Amino acid sequence: MAPSTSHLYHHLLFFFLVFLFHAQQCPAAGGSWSVLLPSIGISAMHAQLLPNDRVVVYDRTDFGVSNISLPNGACRPNTTDCSAHSVEYDVASNTVRPLMVLSNVWCSSGTLMPDGRLVQTGGFDDGYRVVRIYKSCDSCDWQEIRNGLNQQRWYATNHILPDGRQIIIGGRRAFSYEFYPKMSATENTPSLPFLVQTNDPNVENNLYPFVFLYPDGNLFIFANNRAILFDYSNNQVLKTYPTMPDGQPRSYPSTGSAVLLPLRITKGAVNAVEVLICGGAPKGAFVNANKGIFDGALDTCGRIKISDPNPQWVMETMPLARVMGDMLLLPNGHVLIINGASAGVAGWELGRNPVLSPVVYQPDKQVGSRFEVQNPSTKPRVYHSTAVLLGDGRVLVGGSNPHDKYEFGNVLYPTELSLEAFSPSYLDSNSSDLRPKIILPVKNTKIGYGKQLVIVFTVSGIVDPSSVTVTMMAPPFNTHSFSMNQRLLVLDGGVAAKILGKSRYQVVVTTPPSGNVAPAGNYILYVVHKEIPSPGRRHSRYESTVAHHHREDQLFLAGTRKRKVHATPLTPTISHSSATDLRWSDGTKQCYEIFAT
């Protein structure tokens, strides 16, 4: 007897309800949020994790009076502003210390040097050509070199080079590049026509270009919607990559973000080099936003294997459209996309509809299953926000100020002074029995190129030897949705083996082969088990086996006697009349000799 219509209806209703129940029970978004400090006194527009697990943060000197005073009643010279516009955040104590930055650091750039100092360049107005140096200690402060750059740099990008110098590329109306430190007083500033070619009249769309060091020592440079492989030593374009298929701009002010995907080292070589670029704003969005029309952000990512002989873009769709988002490499090789808005562009009052939920991108999964939406924050992080990976695997999130001064009320998105931490799902307590803990090497170990490195770690649960990898992270400088110098290396290694007693294991890996793959500097070492990373062995120092001798600042301080850097530096007294007026409080001028050995 055929089932009645009513009977069939009830069967279908039953199966629909079962399906709906299971759909609702699908795993929820991952990750969790916590507020670290409700206010650090300034808005975190720029941020850099330092080798001592502190984070230096700053915004700009012309925002007005901040919410944190300089210590001991100090004021910036020739001003009535006695508030700080830079702070140092101590991760361990969850406290901040105010710092005095003298010139305007607004929309500047920087690089962590091999010796652990942050060398930061450019900015606005009196900061256009300034080089600033910060080396962290309990009483350290910013030092400034007035005319440290050949050309004004505002919205430029910096990258560390294999020889230990940094290259500074572009900036507003700066279609060129230069180096710091200088090799000579007559070192020139080569032009870079690619920056002219990618400049949209009256809009730009090529500021803060995305720059990555290719493992052969050349540079991948992306601006607007195009990219080149560039030999900076000979000022020569080696390869022009295809334009992104949608032709949409991805650079400031149509701000997307980008990462160099993890570099996997096999038998001393990196065989595949890939770049991922996500988000941005469509053509015309900047003009429209200035008219009060806020176009929807781009929801696409482009991925390209730049090491292929004939590389092509593969386009993917994000679950959430995003402009002004940050992209961070996580210790397990995943990519976190965080912060930003879903409409408008970068600029004063030009963004709308904050995107509160981060997204994790898993590069090794199949296209269509790589994105996973995470739990949302409650705090909008739009223009001038930052995100920094910490050594313990959390992500420090701060900033957001789409106004030309501090605005705390009666505006759409008030200036945000808080610091939050986003904890990816790998930090969940239910993963604790899978989480490695590094025993050896001890922190701050100096490592050479192409050497075997024995790593001893513990895991309380059952270890799958085939699921253990070792990664090294270069902590980047973050501002304006781009993390400069961001680099994650997957080291060449064997299978983990149990060695001493219960829960104790060893893995032997080979360190990177050269400074082209891993420029000299400070790295964070992680052991990853089943995609669960250990707490980082903070800032294992990676040093070249070849000495790089730079007489830093000699161009500006020629003829001064060399002086060793104090363990606890004297307080510098800085005059803006010239760089040679940079003196220690005992009257002697400063000069450095830097070695990476």
Query: Alpha-carbon distance 113 to 594, whole Å?
Result: 10
Is the bond into 309 cis (omega within 30 degrees of 0)? Answer: no
Rounded Cα–Cα distance for residues 421 and 412 (Å): 24
Torsion from C-alpha of 436, 441, 446, 447, nearest 10 degrees: -70
Q: Tell me the mean pLDDT in the region 462-475.
A: 94
Instruction: Tell me which DSSP letter residue 204 carries.
Output: B
Alpha carbon distance 281, 195 (integer Å) = 19
Which pLDDT score, from 0 to 100, does residue 591 have? Answer: 29
- Averaged pLDDT score across all residues of the chain: 87
Q: Examine the pLDDT at 344 and tell me if it is beyond 80.
A: yes
| Residue 513 clears pLDDT 70, i.e. is over it | yes
The predicted model gives 420-438 an average pLDDT of: 97
87: how many CB neighbours lie within 10 A of its CB?
23
Averaged over 501-529, what is the pLDDT? 94
Predicted local confidence at residue 79, as pLDDT: 87
> With contact defined as beta carbons under 8 Å apart, do 328 and 301 qualify?
no
Give me the residue label for tokens 């090497």: 441
Is the pLDDT reported for residue 145 higher than 80?
yes
Of the two residues 31 and 597, the one the predictor is more confident about is: 31
Determine which of 47-61, 146-160, 297-311, 496-510 has the lowest per-residue pLDDT on average: 496-510
Percent of the chain with pLDDT over 90: 80
pLDDT of res. 575 = 29
228 is a domain residue: no
Q: What backbone phi and psi angles, to 5 degrees, belong to 481?
A: 70, 15
Distance CA 376, CA 397 (A): 13
The answer to whether residue 4 scores a pLDDT higher than 60 is: no
Provide the pLDDT for residue 445: 83
Domain-embedded: residue 440: yes
Instruction: Grade residue 339 by pLDDT with cuts at 50, 70 and 90.
Output: very high
User: Taking the CB of residue 31, how many other CB atoms lie within 10 A of it?
Assistant: 23
* Cβ atoms 213, 204 nearer than 8 A: no
Query: Percentage of residues in the chain with pLDDT exceeding 70?
Result: 85
- Looking at the domain assignment, is residue 534 inside a domain? yes
Q: Name the band, by pLDDT with cuts 50, 70 and 90, for residue 571.
A: very low
Strands 236-240 and 226-231: antiparallel
pTM: 0.87
Rounded CA separation 338/321 (Å): 11
Q: Residue 542: which pLDDT band, with cuts at 50, 70 and 90? A: low
Tens-digit pLDDT profile for residues 373-402: 999 999 999 999 999 999 999 999 999 999
> Side-chain half-sphere of 440: how many Cα atoms within 13 Å?
10
How many structural domains comprise the chain? 1
Q: Tens of pLDDT along 92-140?
A: 999 999 999 999 999 999 999 999 999 999 999 999 999 999 999 999 9
What pLDDT is stored for residue 444 in this prediction? 82
| Cβ atoms of residues 210 and 244 within 8 Å | no
Is residue 554 domain-resident? no
Question: Do the domain assignments include residue 532?
Answer: yes
Burial track 98-110 (b if 16+ CB lie within 10 A, e otherwise)? bbbbbbbbbbbbb
- Stated as kind and residue range, the H or E segment containing 424 is none
Upper half-sphere CA count for residue 195 (Cβ side, 13 Å):
24
Answer yes or no: is 283 within a domain: no
Place of tokens 């590049």: 177
Q: What angle do CA 558, 559, 562 make, to 5 degrees?
A: 95
Q: What is the reported pLDDT for 22?
A: 34
pLDDT of residue 39: 99
Domain of 445, CATH number, reads 2.60.40.10
Establish if 287 belongs to a structural domain.
no
**pLDDT band at residue 541 under the 50/70/90 scheme:** low
Tell me what pLDDT residue 415 has.
98
| The pairing of beta strand 446-447 with beta strand 537-542 | parallel
Domain range for 501: 433-542
Mean pLDDT confidence for 254-282: 98
- pLDDT value at position 140? 96
Q: Place 554 in a pLDDT band, splitting at 50, 70 and 90.
A: very low
Is 530 a domain residue? yes
- Segment among 45-49, 146-150, 228-232, 590-594 with least mean pLDDT: 590-594
Q: What is the bridge-based pairing of β-strands 492-493 and 32-37?
A: unpaired
Neighbouring C-beta atoms of residue 76, cutoff 10 Å: 17
**Predicted local confidence at residue 540, as pLDDT:** 53
CA angle 405, 574, 63 (to 5 degrees): 0
DSSP 527-596: EEETTEEPPPEEEEEE--SS---B-TTTTTSTTPPP-PPPSSPPPPB--SS-GGG-B-TTSPBP---B--
Average of pLDDT values for 288-302?
Answer: 99
Name which of 168-182, 306-320, 542-556 the model is least confident about: 542-556
Of the pLDDT bands very low, low, confident and very high (cuts 50, 70, 90), residue 564 is: very low
| Contacts of 41 by beta carbon, 8 Å cutoff, 6+ apart | 66, 67, 68, 83, 84, 87, 96, 98, 417
